[in-house]
Each structure stands twice: as C-alpha cells, then as structure tokens.
Structure 1
Amino acid sequence: MASLLRTVTRSISRPASRIAPIRLQRHYASAATSALAGDNGTPALFPDEPTGPIIRTVIPGPKSKEAIERLSKVFDTRSLNMMANYGQSYGNYIADLDGNVLLDVYAQIASIPVGYNNPSLQLAATSPEMASAIINRPALGNFPQHDWADILETGILSVAPKGLNQVFTGQSGSDANELAYKAAFMYRRQQERGGANVEFTEAEMNSSMTNQSPGAPQLSILSFKKAFHGRLFGSLSTTRSKPIHKLDIPAFDWPQAPFPDLKYPLDEYAAENQAEEQRCLAETELLIKSWHAPPAAVVIEPIQSEGGDNHASPAFFRGLRALTKKHNVLFIVDEVQTGVGATGKFWAHEHWGLDSPPDMVTFSKKAQTAGYYFGNDDLRPNKPYRQFNTWMGDPARAILFRAIIQEIARLDLVQNTAKTGAYLYAGLQRLAEAFPNEIQHLRGKGQGTFIAWDSPRRDEVLRKAKGVGINIGGSGEKAVRLRPMLIFQEKHADLLLEGLEKVFKS
C-alpha cells in the first residue's frame, strides 16, 4: 500500500504527457503532435492527443452500425448520437469503432471537464481510496465513511460558491434540483409554523398521508419559459423547454414566468433589451404575489441551455434576486450545465455581481457528481430522514470531482476557458460576417466557450459536421451550442472554425 501511494505521488508531479495511456500514445503516434507548445507558445494541455480529426469512414461506419444494431435489441438507441470507443478517445477527441476520431465540442452534453482519459483522473480512479469507495459504497445518511468530511472539505466544498458553506449531495442534476425544491418547501413551512422547534400537528401528519393540505401544502416552484431543470417527476414540472419531455406525465400546477427574449447584436438593441428584461421582472413579481399556490422558490439557469442557449444580462439576475428577497422567496440557481468553469468563471452566476448569494446552487455534469450548495442552517430539515435516500450521493464520484478540481487549478483551466472563449467568439464573428445565413444571433460573448448561434438548417449542420471531424450539438429548436472541455485551446478553436467553414460552403 505504501509503495503504491509513493508511486501515485511521484506520478502526479509528472507532466500529463508522461503518464498518458501508452496504448493511446501508440495508437495516435502518427497523428500526435511532437511539440510541447500549443497556441502562441502556450503549453499544450494534452500534447499527446491527435493534431486534428481523423475520418476513415462515413459516420456511422460498418463496425458502428453492427454495434448499434446489436445494442438496439436490448436498449433504446433512438436518441443515439454516435457509437463511441472510449478506450481510444483522448483529450479533446472522441473516437468510434471504425477508426474515426472527432474533435468533440459537445463533450457528453457538457459533462466532460478535463478531457477523455485524463491521466490525473486515471490516478484518482485507480487509488486505494477510490477502490474502497466503489466496492464498499456507503449508505451515507446511516453509515458515512470515516473520511467523508475530509473528502467534502478538500473537494466539493473547496469550490463552493461564495457565501454557501454546506452541501447536500445527490445522484444527478435532476436529483439535485428536486432535493433543492424539497428543502425550499420544508423551509417555507417551517417559517410559517414559527420555527424549527415547532412540532408538526396531528392534522398535518394525517393529511400528508392522503396528499391533502395542510400536510401536503399548496405551494409551488416558479420557473421560466424554455427552462430545463430535469426529467424526474418534480423537476419536470419546472422544465419548459420541449413538449416531448413532458407529454403524458402528470404535472404540478406551478407558474412559469417569461424569460427575456433578447435581440442581437446586444449593443444595437440595448434599450429594447432593457425594456424586455423589465417586462419579464414585472411579470415575475406579479406571479410571485398572485399565483394560487405561492412559490416557495424561484429556480433559474444562468444561461438557458437545453431550451436554446438563451441569455439575460447581469442586471436582470440582480433584479430577480432583489425580488426574491423582497417577497421572502428562495433563489435557486441551477448551475448543472453552466457550472465548473464553462463560462470563464467557476460558477456562471459570478458574472452577475450579486449583493447577496443565491440561497441554493445546484450542480452536476462537469462535477461528475451532483447536489446543492447552501449556507443557511435553517435549510437543513428540522428532523432526520426528511431529506434522505440510501446513497445520498457517492463518495467515488466526490473523489473524482476532487481530482477534477485539482486538475483545473493545476492547469488554470478557468482562465484558459475565458481566454480561448474570447478567441473563439472573435473567429465566429468573422464567420458570421462571411456566412450571415448560417450564423444568426451569435451569443455568449464574455461567457468563456459557452457560445451558441441560431441556424436555419441546424440539424443538417450537425450531421455534416461529423463528416469533417467535428462532434457538435444543438439546443432548443434551431440553436447550435458549443460545449467544449476546459482543456480546449486556440488550436482546437482553429480546427473548429475551419470545419464549420467547410460545412457552410457545402
């Protein structure tokens, strides 16, 4: 054990290229860069990855088609994007079974933070600590492992949003939001009773068992049009992005407020956009005051992601925070997709300049784990087992997030994302000028690589992009969304821009 730990410690200090999987190094020997320098002398974050995409067959190729056919007999493949070979994927590049290697700017729907087969994460994954967490997975509420506090403090809580010093861990982004909603409802009712020490009445306990008031109170969560907060039962009632997510599912009668519909370019429509945001704030306040099931919380994404990459200004979010404080409604910021460095800040809401922090911030995706941060002790339920399930998160995934955090700090990846995003946005602006019918309403300036635009032939663009070696995704009805990893550099941006130009010319 001691010798293994010494080996791991020595390996961590080596450059990533030295501990990259040997099989991958051999596989990409002909395509890998030999230089350690990347953009303008900047060190390459993955010097052993391919210098560019490799296209050997149509996508999907014959081997992929065979694998897809086999899988479809036991698993629903109708949403399949491509059949991946993760053993041969590395850094910013995703491989398939036919030898095709694509520059991946979709990154598992924004959930891969520091590259495929990242050597530092491989070290964390093969550590004795990880092995114990995997094979002895604890029921954390009842039997937490002895070092759970240390894992949280050195990982998840080390990057907690300002003002939030506690966490409740969960399984997924949808789960994180539902847990936050439950906390909001319990907090609201606790306030109405007169405090955490006031016992439940017999009427409350009995009526809760028949799903009736007062035990099952008539309260709500306010969300926004085109929002996406998950597909579980409660979170789905706050999701408003596409009918396909909601059809046939009973839903709570909860309010939706309008999200600003901004005009682009922003600097040409400043007055109109300000008026639009004020309209949305006024309608939000009216719903908070008048909805028949009073909102216990307002939930919002810093950038509406799945719903079409819709933006609003920092002033809008500051106004929304002021409304929630004015009306004693909790403010939940859903950072499932925007969090962990994607926007050039570790948390996207850092761009807003809030006077007071959100009440809760939910996270998942790039964190590779999930949960919600909070700071108010009263957001803890007043009794045990009210916010509870068997796992209550996963120490293995928390250990992985800690390794991700360390890798982000080691390589200064949040700053890298801000820098690369500015470079990429400028390149896309030039493409938009050359191809105005292909890139419309370009948005995301100053938001790292969290960039999108509208395309009148979006699905065709996504399909043709694979043919030039780019894996890219969409959102909403017509948006092309970019979700590259935090290790995405200017040389990758150049490859993306070249690939897009080929698609636009086709």
Structure 2
Amino acid sequence: MNNKELLARRNKALPQGAATALPVFVEKAVGSEIWDVEGTHYVDFASGIAVNNTGNLHPKVVDAIEKQLKQYAHIGFPVLSCEPYVRLCERLNDLAPIKDAKSTLFTTGAEATENAVKVARYYTSRQGIITFTGSFHGRTQLALAMTGKVQPLRTGVTPSQAGVYQVPFPIPHHGTSESDSLRALDHLFRATIAPDQVAAIVIEPVQGEGGFYQASPVFMRELREICTRHSICLIVDEVQSGFGRTGKFFAVEHSGVQPDLIAIGKAMGGGLPLSGLIGRSDVIDAPPPGFLGGTFAGNPLACAAANAVLDIIEEERLLDRAEQVGKRISAFLHDLKGTPGVLPLGDIRGLGAMVAFEIVAQLGTHTPDAEATKRVAARAKELGLLLLPCGYYGNTIRISAALNISDDVLETGLSRLASALKA
C-alpha cells in the first residue's frame, strides 16, 4: 500500500474532524527518524506533538513495557493498586517544585487539566476559572472552554461552561505587555467576577498550541502573589512544556514559583497515553475517595514506560541536552534570519529545546504571514522534515525535536529546514 491508497481508505473510514496534518502513513519510527510506507525518510521535529522527548522506541522504554507486559497489562487502579503507579507518583512528588506534594494519574492531558480545575473548585468552594488567550488545555468540554484559541479548536462551538474567563496573554511584540495583561485581570476582578469567587488561575508557563510564547519569571511571580493574596489556586499546565522540554524538568521552575497544582501529560508515557496531576498536599488531598481516577488512569504499562523515561532523563542528562539542542536550533535560526533568498523571519524564541519562530510578511516587522507558514510546513514534508505550524496568529513554526536527538540527525533536519524556508 502507498500513501495515496491509504489516504483514500482513511478518508472513507474517518470523519473530517479527525484531521491529520500530513498525508503520510508511518511504516517505522526510531529515535528522531521516521520512514513512511513508501520508504521516504523524515527527520522528526514534531515528536508526536512533544510526546517523544526521549525519542521513538527508546530501548529502555521498550524493555520496561515488555517486562511489565509479562506480569499484567491492566488491573484498573480504582479496583486494585499496583507498585509502578505508586513508584511513579513518588518520583513525581520529589521532582515537582511543590512542597509536600502528592500525585495522581490519568490518561490524557485534558483529563489532567479538567481534574486540576475540579480539585481547585472543591478546595476553594468557588467556581470561577481564569485562563489566557492563546492557551490550549484540551478538546473536552471544560478544557475547550478554557482554551483561548478559536481556529480550528472551537470553530462553530460556543463554549458552554459557566464561570470560565480569559485575559490576554502577554506578547509584547504583538502589542500586549505584561502590564496590559495584569490590568485586564484587575478589570476582570472589578467588573466581572470578584477574586473571592475565583477558584483558580490556569496558565501554561510556555504556551504550546498558542505559539511557544513564554510567561516571564516576573509575570509568573506576579500571578503567584495575586493568587496568594486572594486565596486562589495557581494551576500550571505543563502537559507540553514538562518532562525536560525547557531544560528544567518543569518550565515553571525557571520562575522560581511554587504552583498549587501542576497538570502533566504528553512526554511522560514515552509514547503511551498517560497524564497526571501533582498538587500541594492540602489542596489535592481535599476531595473525598473516588473523586479522582478513571478506568485506564495510571495503566501499568504506561507507568512502567514513564518510570523508564524518568531514568533516561537522569542517566542521559537530558536536561543539559535540551539546553544544547535549543541553543543550536536558535543559533541556526538567527543566522538564517535576513539571509537573501530566505522567507522573512520574525520573532525567534526558545526555552531549552522548546523553540519557535514566526514567519512575517516583511523582514523587520511582526505582521503575521499564516499562509506562508502553511507552505513552509508542506514544503518541509516534501524535503523529509516534519514540522508543526501553530500560534495565536497562525504564523509560528514550533520545533520539538527529541531531547536525545543525535547531532547528525539534528543537522540533517536543520539543513532541510533551511531549504524549506527559501523564498
């Protein structure tokens, strides 16, 4: 079968809402390289949407899954306990920038963010939730209401969750300063919902789908102070930015801020579906038994994989490697910017190996060019490079290479990126 034949079968069997960015069917994936059913080679700068931080099929992850599979594959944690789940939570508690932390596990990132809100509402006996424009917290109903980006996530869908409010995320080069964001929050408190009715402020320290825009340490500390002053829970969504992606285990660590709850997911399962919620003990321990969980939450195979991922991050010093990879990508982009024959690049930003750049209408401006961005991603695919466009303005290319990508594969990917960016 070739890609065209498989695509015809796919289109017949699946609804158009279940979209796939590229018409490519995978035959094999190892590390940071992928081969499709026609034998075409790709360098993977998408990592399964920032899931494969330790690469595809890392031998230690495969070995951990195989060993667990020989013991048991599923027990249903709400019915019976298993040691891999407990061990993973113990390790997450030690890693989290939260004193006296406790953790619980789920399956998807949306479950993690929704349960964070559920816990905050129970703990505070309040209903109000504040999120930010450009945010992405999941595709389920509450998570979608918290998400601050319409196209394509909320197209034709009116958010139906009461008590969810948004303020602008600070993006200075697009006209919204940190002072503007804090002023908007103050207006919200004065005109729409009083602080004593707000259960939580939810923020991605580095926005994912929104475009890898970063909340500065100063801004994060301001939010922490506001939350503390008004007894509001500060929830950080680290589903995309966690597990070493930014050069620290959690992106919030760059600010020195201690949140009340951390939602995690994506990279933690090493390719298997797994997410979690870490929280201050008095907050996350407040709800009664049965309040948290799910049939497949904390599946033993996924927990075994996640424990292997933690081993790999430590043993292979992937936090340091994330910094090295990010610096190389950023330096390459800065060298490319303004080069004759290259599309005009705008803002280039990165925290560790969470790097992004904007494509603009004219060099020296910040006017978004979303159509050119789509063309670059399509051209990159033709050249054997997997890229994901994103961003509040649709003009951002995000690079989420595996943290353990080899230098040779990284350079091959960057070379193909340079070719894709030719005007």
TM-score (norm 1): 0.74
Matches within 5 A, 1:21-420: 63-76=2-15, 79-80=19-20, 81-86=22-27, 88-127=28-67, 129-134=68-73, 137-145=74-82, 148-153=85-90, 155-163=91-99, 165-189=101-125, 219-246=127-154, 247-253=156-162, 254-263=164-173, 276-288=177-189, 290-292=191-193, 294-354=197-257, 357-368=258-269, 369-420=274-325
- Amino acid of the structure 2 residue aligned with 1:237: A
Structure 1 pair 147–426 and aligned structure 2 pair: CA distance change class (3 A)? closer
Partner of 2:321, secondary structure, is helix
C-alpha deviations, 1:18-71, integer Å up to 9, x for none?
A: xxxxxxxxxxxxxxxxxxxxxxxxxxxxxxxxxxxxxxxxxxxx7111122223
Shift of 1:138: 2.2
Structure 1 pair 437–151 and aligned structure 2 pair: CA distance change class (3 A)? closer
- Amino acid of the structure 1 residue aligned with 2:96: A
Aligned residues: 399
Shift of 1:501: 2.0
Which of 467, 470, 477 is the equivalent residue of 2:382?
467
- Amino acid of the structure 1 residue aligned with 2:265: S
Partner of 1:255, secondary structure, is strand
C-alpha deviations, 1:363-382, integer Å up to 9, x for none?
A: 00011220110123243234
Partner of 2:365: none
- Amino acid of the structure 2 residue aligned with 1:438: P
C-alpha deviations, 1:105-136, integer Å up to 9, x for none?
A: 00111111211221111111110x334341xx
Partner of 1:440: 346
Identify, as 1 or 2, the structure richer in strand.
2
Shift of 1:148: 4.1
CA contact (8 A) 2:141 2:161 kept: no
Shift of 1:341: 0.9
Structure 1 pair 130–151 and aligned structure 2 pair: CA distance change class (3 A)? farther
C-alpha deviations, 1:292-315, integer Å up to 9, x for none?
A: 472200000011111222223211
C-alpha deviations, 1:150-187, integer Å up to 9, x for none?
A: 3532x544533342521021111000000000000000
Segments of 5+ residues of structure 1 without an aligned counterpart are: 1-61, 190-216, 265-271
Partner of 2:354, secondary structure, is coil
CA contact (8 A) 2:98 2:259 kept: no
CA contact (8 A) 2:235 2:263 kept: yes
Shift of 1:388: 4.0
Structure 1 pair 146–225 and aligned structure 2 pair: CA distance change class (3 A)? closer
CA contact (8 A) 1:227 1:304 kept: yes
Q: Which moved more, 1:159-168 or 1:118-127?
A: 159-168
Aligned-pair identity in percent equals 26
Cα distance in 1, alignment partners of residues 108 and 142 from structure 2:
14
Q: RMSD over aligned Cα, in angstroms?
A: 2.2
Which of 329, 332, 350 is the equivalent residue of 1:427?
332
Cα distance in 1, alignment partners of residues 173 and 88 from structure 2:
45
CA contact (8 A) 1:359 1:374 kept: yes
Cα distance in 2, alignment partners of residues 172 and 179 from structure 1:
11
- Amino acid of the structure 1 residue aligned with 2:346: Q
Cα distance in 2, alignment partners of residues 465 and 151 from structure 1:
38
- Amino acid of the structure 1 residue aligned with 2:30: Y
**Over alpha carbons, which structure has the higher Rg?**
1
C-alpha deviations, 1:280-300, integer Å up to 9, x for none?
A: 112213324543472200000
Partner of 1:235, secondary structure, is helix
Partner of 1:207: none
Cα distance in 1, alignment partners of residues 284 and 189 from structure 2:
20
C-alpha deviations, 1:191-217, integer Å up to 9, x for none?
A: xxxxxxxxxxxxxxxxxxxxxxxxxx7
- Amino acid of the structure 1 residue aligned with 2:69: M
CA contact (8 A) 1:84 1:94 kept: no
Matched, 1:479 2:392: no
Shift of 1:461: 0.3
Shift of 1:412: 0.7
Shift of 1:225: 0.9
- Amino acid of the structure 2 residue aligned with 1:433: G
Larger relative contact order (C-alpha < 8 A, sep ≥ 6)? 2
CA contact (8 A) 1:84 1:96 kept: yes
Q: Which moved more, 1:242-251 or 1:412-421?
A: 242-251
Partner of 1:167, secondary structure, is strand
Cα distance in 2, alignment partners of residues 469 and 391 from structure 1:
36
Shift of 1:400: 0.6
